[in-house]
Amino acid sequence: MNIQFKRLSNIAKSEIIGLMNNQLVRRQLPLLIGEFSECDCDEFIYNKELLWKNHGFGPWAFLVNGKFAGWGGLQPENGEADLALVLHPNYWGLGKTLFKKIMNIAFEDMDLESITILLPPTRTRIKGVFSLGFKEDSELSVGNVRFFKYRLNRSTLK
């Protein structure tokens, strides 16, 4: 299996729009309200590219055997690197493989001490998060939506 990380700006907008409007994906994204349009996609790509420009890192598009599987990676969030992983349901089984690649970048290439993830309270199946070494950190609101923050320290990476 060939996995590549590309910039989101290199992906056809129709692919991103299809992913973001997939009902199974949308259930995991409480900040995504209403239909994800071409205009939303333009703004989304612009903002993700701006992260790269301003911080030197941001999310990627994931290609599996040349096909768009989703997006994610590390994004700046309140002075920390936050992990996002949004995959098409056909690729949900690849989450751990992608996670390992991203962790190598975070802890080896970027030399980070920790990363965080934000999950809404509706995400109740999170045993996998703990099995990867994440610990409960705090609770916060983003856009009036409540999230739980979990942290993975470099020293506890499993």
Query: Distance between CA 127 and CA 74 in Å, rounded?
Result: 21
Strand partners, 151: 116, 135
Q: Where are the beta strands (DSSP E) in 8-102?
A: 59-64, 67-77, 80-87
CATH of the domain at 67: 3.40.630.30
- Does residue 71 sit within a domain? yes
Query: Distance between CA 29 and CA 26 in Å, rounded?
Result: 5
Per the structure, how many domains does the chain have?
1
pLDDT of 95-148, one tens digit each? 999 999 999 999 999 999 999 999 988 887 888 889 889 999 999 888 788 999
pTM over 0.75: yes
- Does residue 65 sit within a domain? yes
Taking the CA atoms of 139, 103, 158 and 108 in sequence, report the sign of the dihedral they define.
negative
pLDDT of 42-75, one tens digit each? 999 999 999 999 999 999 999 999 999 999 999 9
Structural domain boundaries enclosing 67: 3-111
Residue bearing tokens 């598009």: 61
- Does residue 121 sit within a domain? no
Contacts of 95 (CB under 8 A, 6+ apart): 85, 87
- Does residue 120 sit within a domain? no
pLDDT of 9-49, one tens digit each? 999 999 999 999 999 999 888 888 889 999 999 999 999 99
- Does residue 105 sit within a domain? yes
- Does residue 92 sit within a domain? yes
